[in-house]
Structure 1
Amino acid sequence: MSISLRVGSGLMGLLLIYAAMRSALITFVLPRSAPETISRFWFRLLRRLFDWRVHHAKEYRTRDRIMAIYAPLALLSLLPLWLLIVTVGFAGLYWATGIASQRDDLILSGSSLLTLGFARGETLVHDLLAFAEATLGLILVAVLIAYLPTMYGAFARRESAVSRLAVRANTPPSALEFIHRAHRIGGLENLDDFWQEWEIWF
């Protein structure tokens, strides 16, 4: 097999692994906004699927029930996506370092990532790569588990705020209805705290 193909496979594998780990760190660890391709693509893809499903729902309650699971599902499904990318990336590294069969590359990569241990490499280099892959897999899982309480708390606070908003803006909430009700009771000038509270979510 051409050396250039193996080198290219190794470089592509490293690029995929780097992209997956960078995506995980930016999404769950970095405390500021930063451009990130994988998560943005995944969120937009799932949003299109949800929009298509909502388009066929006639009642507001049905649409609300469908969209309520969009954000949690999008975040939780990132982990399998990252694991898949890392698996393919390390499979490229295994192929670049001498394992000829692409099927064996994927089996070894999946076994190493999930720490199953039913597949072994042929050389010390393969074993070292397997150790590195298992470590990255555990890191990805640990990051998501550590983030779950924060994610749940954020969603719970937002749902509580939305429920309170229904009293002022009807159900489903309407900006025009909210302003109309505030004007009717003479409370437009007392909404500064309300705007500041909702600015957090935007």
Structure 2
Amino acid sequence: MLLAGAAVVMYTLSAAIRAFIMPRNESVLLSNWVFRGVRLVFYMVAALGRTYARRDWVLALYAPVALVLLPIAWLALIALGYTGMFWAVGEGSWAFCYKLSSNSLLTLGSLEANSLVGSFLSYSEATWGLLLMTLLISYLPTIYQAFSRRELVVAQLELRAGAPSSATNLIVWLNRGGSLLDDDHEWRAWEEWFVQIDETHTSLPVLSFFRSPQPGRSWIASAGILLDAAALIISAVDQPRSNQVEISFKAGCLAVNRVYRFFEQRARSKPSELLGPTDALEEPSRREFLEAYKCLQAHNVQLHPDPDAAWRRYHTLRGRYTEAVTFLAKLLTAPDVKTV
């Protein structure tokens, strides 16, 4: 029992370190269990909502609640492990060992161990309890800063791509001066945003589920609009453009695919069923592409003379990210946004 309790404690500490300190996109089984359990409850409640706004309001609580419950799960396992160790060293009955373990973990000081070994275990448990709580508290500002940086770009994109936002509106805005050559600053900022998404949303995956302050916004919908805009420019626009477009497109494809692979392969997550089969960033049809093509022509954007060839090129480029964006949009229950 002593070894079993120690194993539970060491596994819990390892899970906490891998979840918050280790700078890798590590999938932690304990964290997955907590987040999946909380997610199941919230999705059952959200399914009762008749409107998207109601479901969005419920799901906005999911990530914060899951993040708060995670250290509670850590502390519960630590208490369980030390209960077994206290019993193994002869501190008394199971009931007394549980009380002693909980008392030590929360540093209440109302109970004392009966032996030197028991005292050592009691002090070590108090140390781990304080360490785990400090770990979460210290990382909350980091999570909030990453969330704020992400949402700043999402809000700025809405100003440029209109409301409702679309890739066509964004290209029209980028071409407002009659040229796409003076947009280096915009595309460079979006490249940096994609790189940050790649790093933060795989090392701290709970960030993906933090919803935007405005119900109609979503970071994955914004990513889809930026990628669609880049794909449209590369495939259909026949005029000089910023060299940053291709780099930002590549950064975006890498970012959304890495986040997608993390949730689909490592975290074994499944898309939400709260969205219908035609909602949220579905593959645009050839008709929708031609509508965007005509809209860009009407706004004096120079396009390739062969729309069929442009469609084939666009469809090929979109194949690099459409599966990832659609999966994440359904997983995160993103709002229905017209990307093209």
With over 3 angstroms needed to count, the CA separation of the structure-2 counterparts of 1:117 and 1:186, relative to structure 1, is: closer
Corresponding residue to 2:46 among 39, 42, 54: 54
Corresponding residue to 2:137 among 114, 133, 145: 145
2:201 matched to which residue of 1? none
What TM-score, normalized to structure 1?
0.81
Is it true that 1:109 corresponds to 2:97 in the alignment? no
1:121 matched to which residue of 2? 113
Name the amino acid aligned to 2:130.
Answer: L
How many residues are paired up? 188
Tell whether the 8 Å contact from 2:2 to 2:84 is kept in structure 1 after alignment: yes
With over 3 angstroms needed to count, the CA separation of the structure-2 counterparts of 1:92 and 1:52, relative to structure 1, is: same
User: Which aligned runs of 4 or more in structure 1 are off by greater than 4 angstroms?
Assistant: 183-187, 189-193
Which structure's residues are more often helix, by fraction? 1
2:166 matched to which residue of 1? 178
Task: Name which of structure 1's ranges 190-199 and 39-48 shifts more when overlaid on structure 2.
Answer: 190-199
Corresponding residue to 2:8 among 7, 16, 28: 16
What TM-score, normalized to structure 2?
0.50
Q: Identity rate of aligned residues, in percent? A: 32
Corresponding residue to 2:193 among 181, 197, 200: 197
RMSD over aligned Cα, in angstroms?
Answer: 2.3
Deviation track 1:7-52 (CA, whole Å, cap 9, x = no partner) reads: xx22221111011111111111111122311011111111222222
Larger Rg: 2
Deviation track 1:116-164 (CA, whole Å, cap 9, x = no partner) reads: 0111111111001001001111111111121121112122223333333
- Distance, in Å, in 2 between the alignment partners of 1:21 and 1:131 is 16
- Distance, in Å, in 2 between the alignment partners of 1:30 and 1:186 is 40
Deviation track 1:55-113 (CA, whole Å, cap 9, x = no partner) reads: 12222322222222322222222111111110000001011111341111110000001
Deviation at 1:180, TM superposition (A): 4.0
Partner-residue secondary structure (3-state), 1:77: helix
- Distance, in Å, in 2 between the alignment partners of 1:40 and 1:96 is 30
Name the amino acid aligned to 2:196.
Answer: I
> Which blocks of at least 5 consecutive residues in structure 2 are unaligned?
198-258, 260-340
Task: Name which of structure 1's ranges 87-96 and 56-65 shifts more when overlaid on structure 2.
Answer: 56-65
Corresponding residue to 2:64 among 72, 82, 85: 72
Tell whether the 8 Å contact from 2:18 to 2:28 is kept in structure 1 after alignment: yes
- Distance, in Å, in 2 between the alignment partners of 1:169 and 1:15 is 55
- Distance, in Å, in 1 between the alignment partners of 2:118 and 2:128 is 15
- Distance, in Å, in 1 between the alignment partners of 2:29 and 2:39 is 15
- Distance, in Å, in 2 between the alignment partners of 1:96 and 1:148 is 37
- Distance, in Å, in 2 between the alignment partners of 1:16 and 1:132 is 14
